[in-house]
Every structure is written in C-alpha cells, then in structure tokens.
Chain A
Amino acid sequence: MLLAVAVSAVAAPILAPHDPVQQDLLRRLLPPGTARDGAAYLLGTDSLGRDVLSRIIYGARVSLTVAIVAVGIAGLTGVSAGVLSAYYGGVVDAGLMRLADVILSVPFLLLAIATVAVLGPNFLDLIFVLGLTRWPRYARVTYAQARALREREFVQAEVAVGAGDGRILFRHILPNVLSPVIVIATLEVGLVIIFEAALSFLGLGVQPPVPSWGAMLSEGRDYLANAWWLATFPGLAIMLTVLAANLLGDAARDALDPRGLSGAAF
C-alpha cells in the first residue's frame, strides 16, 4: 500500500486524470462516477469543479514529502543529541536532555500550532516545525541505548587502545542504536502525516491551491449534507497511508527490536 502511495506521489503528473488545480465551475460538486464529455470523475468533483481523485493523488506528494523530510530532520537531530549526550555526559547531557524533557512536556499539537502561528504557514517552515519539535523522542531512546553501550567491553577496549571519539561514535555506538530508531521513524511517518493533515485542516498547514489531504477534509466540512464524497475520500487516503506506515513499523519492530527497547507505543 505504501508503495502505491509513493508511486502515485512520484508519478502524479502522469497518473492523475485531471489537473488538480484547474477549476471548472460548471462542473461543481459532481458525485463520484460521473462522466461528462468523455472525462470521468471517479471520485467526484469539489466545490470548484476540481477532480477529487487527481487532488488526492497530488496530495500524496505533499503528505509523503512533509512526512519523510520532517522525520529525517527529527531523526538526525534526535539521534545526534541522544548519542552525544550519552557519550560526553556532563553539561551537554544535562542541557540537551532537559531541553528534550521540556519539549516533550508541551502537548505536541499546541506547540506546533503556536509555532506555525508565529512563523507563518509556509511549506518549508511547516517541515521544520514538524521536524524540530519531534526530535526529543529519538533522543530519549538513543540516549538510553548509547549510555548502556558506552559501558560495554568493546567500547572500553577501544578507549584503552586510544581510538578517537569520532571513530568510536561512528563505528561502534551509532550502528547499534539505529534499530530502535528505525522502528520509531516508521511509526513517526504515520504520525507526522496525521499532524500535517491536522494543521492543514485548521488552515495552518499547506496553503491552497496546493492539494493537501487535510485541507481537502476541511473543505469537505462545509458540504457534509450534500457532497459526502468530499469529506470521505481524503480521510480514507490518510487512514490507509498511515495504516500502511504503522504496519511497516510493526514489522520493523518485530524484526529489529523484539525486546521493546525502542519503547515505541503499542
């Protein structure tokens, strides 16, 4: 399923039967399955005559891009923070881990909303916000793992032999902390997709006319009584994509982290 979403995101211009942005006010609010003048609207059209199916396909681009980049940023920052804190201890440790605690203490959506409100709802900032506010989750896990590793014999041996910090960090500690991180990262992709949709739903995320699943749901809200398809299909798209990501995460956990070291929520 995830593959299907990825493919459609990449191949969107070829796959989508219609231009997702082009409005056609004569064809507003057509129910799914209508065909007119040789053009078929499999999932109907929205209030501005735009084909829902095409917008969903293009929306996949937005959701996946945001999710993957944000998770990448969060992961990189988090893992670095966690490993460095664990390895060097002292002030670095205290500072970074306390910061992580503080960020984790604010309900995520509130923090995200407030930050986006201040920075303005543009695409790049959105990705940064989603990335930079989620790094503590990765940091916590890598910290615990790295702390344990630091004390183990093979690391002590390297130190005794006089290996430089960089070598120890990269060749020994890092590879061993990555398994739980991968598990968390896959689960986070699903979460970030939902958060991006939520922010777009509230008008604080991706701006029109760029199609975003969350924004489409928001539009559908106004037509619940007469155009049920506007609210149903984007949500379905979100759910299926996140489900795929979660299943991938579960599979990753079974393969890489059966002892539950990642602490990934059930």
Chain B
Amino acid sequence: MARFLLVRVAHAVLVVWGVATLVFVVLHLSGDPTLLMVPQGSPLSAITRLRHELGFDQPLSTQYARFVSNLVRGDLGDSLWQERPAMSIIEERLPATAELAGAALAVALVAGLGVGVPAALWRGGWLDRAAMTLALLGQAMPAFWLGLLLIMLFAVRLHWLPPSGAGGWPHLVLPALTLGSLPTATFARMTRAAVLEETGQDYVRTARAKGASRRRVIAAHLARNAAIPIITVVALEIANLLGGAVITESIFAWPGLGRLVLDAIAARDYTVVQAAVFVGAVVFVSTSLVADVLYSVADPRIRLG
C-alpha cells in the first residue's frame, strides 16, 4: 500500500512539474511576454525597463531555472496589476471558488447518483427514461445558457432569488445549479451504466440465488464495485468544475478564482493568469491522487497488485 502511494505521489509531482513547464511555455508563446503586459503605445524605454525588471531579457534557460526555483518555494511571481504576490491574490479568491465548486459537486452527486441508481435498478421504467432524456439534454446544453435562463426565470421574472453576487445561501443556489448541471447529467448516466454493468455480473446472481435480499446485494456488493468507475468520473469532473467555474462566476459575478482569471486577462496581468492556471492544475492533480487512494481502498487488487 505504501509503495503504491509512493509511486502515485512521485508521478503526481512529475506531472505538476510538467504543468509548470507547460505554463511557462504558454506564457512565452507570443515571443516577448513584456509586450503582453504593457498598455498599447508605451514608450520603448518603459518597455525595456520592464523587461529588465521582470527578467525577460535573460536567456530562456535562465528564466526557466528561476521560474522553477521560485515555484518550489511557493513564489508564483508578483502581480503587476495589484503589486503584490500573485499567490496571496489567489489565496483570497480560492475559498469562494471552492465553495461554489463544492456546492455544485454536492448537487451533482446527490442528484446524479440519486437518479442514476434507481434508473438502473428499475431499468426501462418511467424514471429511467425520463432521467436519461434529461441527462442527454443536460450534456448538450451549454451551462452558461442554463445560467442565463435560470436568472431570467428565478431572478428577473419571479424575484425569488438574487441574480448575482455572493452572500448568504440564496446567492449560492443559482450558480451551484448552473455549474452542477453538466456533472449531474454525467454522473446520472455513468452511475446507471456502472450499476447496470454490475447487476449483470455472475456474483450478483449467485448472491440472489443464495437468498440474499435485494437490499443486501446492493449495499454489500454492488456499491463497492460500481464505485470504481464512479470515482473515476467524479475525479475527472473536478477538472470540468474548475473550468466551468470561470464562466459561472462570470455570469453570476461570483468573486472567485475564475473571475480573477478573466479580470487578470483584461488587466493584462499574465503573472496572475499563469499562477491561477498552475493552481488549478495542482488542485486537479491532487484530487486525482485522492481518487487513486480511494480506488485502492475500494478495490484491493489495485493496492496489492
């Protein structure tokens, strides 16, 4: 078990380093990052000075070495726009996004699993067909469109919920529903498929033949085995949640990391953009790692083999 974990952690570290390199490459894709960061029509002297200050006039290899060594120490650079470390800006905004993503994930898990499992168990029934149709629509629908529709209906027409901003839980409802719509659909379909796959297995038939009640079969056997693909999908959806948060936060004026990225782009503060992308990737890699650990708990074959 320990060996398995060690291998996974080492792999994760390697991937994080790869992401850092990728982020570095992307920033330099346009040739001279300094030009990205200055307003149009700046005098050449100012550009040259800034380039020297930021170290962009050094050879790439030197820049890269500095970048990595800073990163290891947790220094993601300084924001040009707000004149403080990018890391502290991100730390301020991360909780809001975490709250939104967490709420969306909760909604998606409850709704998705809550619908997917019964759909599989009563396959072909009205719940199954209704749920799968809704899931299909949900996967086709752009989340930001749903957000706009929800605002139109609940905020503008009915005045039941606030259209934007953060505050108490009423402010959380619409954004969470919007962000969670796609994951719900995916979870519903995935859960249904996973449960169906298990119900067809021999061990289920054997258990029933031995006289186990339906409930026991589900709780003791199906759950553990169906959990594996479900965990995979959940981990993958976290990445989508982080990306989708950008749009949802934009629509609902939610003060999180996603909106920070957009504001930073508008302010030409690429240090912050770079930092945010990196943090997003790190969060995703960490959740994948956690997912792997959960696998090994659910499926002993993985931890021993």
Contact = CB atoms under 8 A, between A and B. Distances in A.
Interface of A: 98-99, 101-103, 105-111, 113-115, 117-120, 190, 194, 197-198, 201-202, 204, 214, 217, 220-221, 224-225, 228, 231-232, 234-235, 238-240, 242-243, 246-247, 265-266
Contacts of A242: 139-142
Interface stretch (B15-23, B64-72, B78-86): B15-23
Interface of B: 14-16, 18-19, 21-23, 26-27, 29-30, 36, 136-137, 139-142, 144-145, 148-149, 151-152, 156, 186, 189-190, 192-193, 233, 236, 239-240, 242-244, 246-247, 250-251, 261-262, 265, 270, 273-274, 276-277, 280-281, 284-285, 288
A21 to B, nearest CB: 23
A214 B29 CA distance: 26
5 contacts: A117-B265, A118-B270, A238-B142, A247-B136, A265-B190
Contacts of B190: 265-266
A47 B269 CA distance: 32
A193 to B, nearest CB: 9
Given A103-B22, A194-B142, A114 B186 contact: no
A228 B190 CA distance: 34
A265 B244 CA distance: 18
A115 to B, nearest CB: 5
B15 A105 contact: yes
Nearest to A106: B281
Contacts of B261: 110, 113-114
B15 A102 contact: yes
Contacts of B247: 109, 198, 201-202
A246 B139 contact: yes
A102 B242 contact: no
Nearest to B36: A118
Nearest to B236: A265
Contacts of A106: 19, 22, 239, 277, 280-281, 284
Nearest to A240: B140
Contacts of A238: 141-142, 145
A202 B262 contact: yes
B142 A198 contact: yes
A205 B23 CA distance: 20
Contacts of B142: 194, 197-198, 214, 217, 235, 238-239, 242
A228 B18 contact: no
Nearest to B282: A105
B22 A102 contact: yes
Contact of B27 (A111, A118, A225): A118
A224 B152 contact: yes
Contacts of B29: 115, 118-119
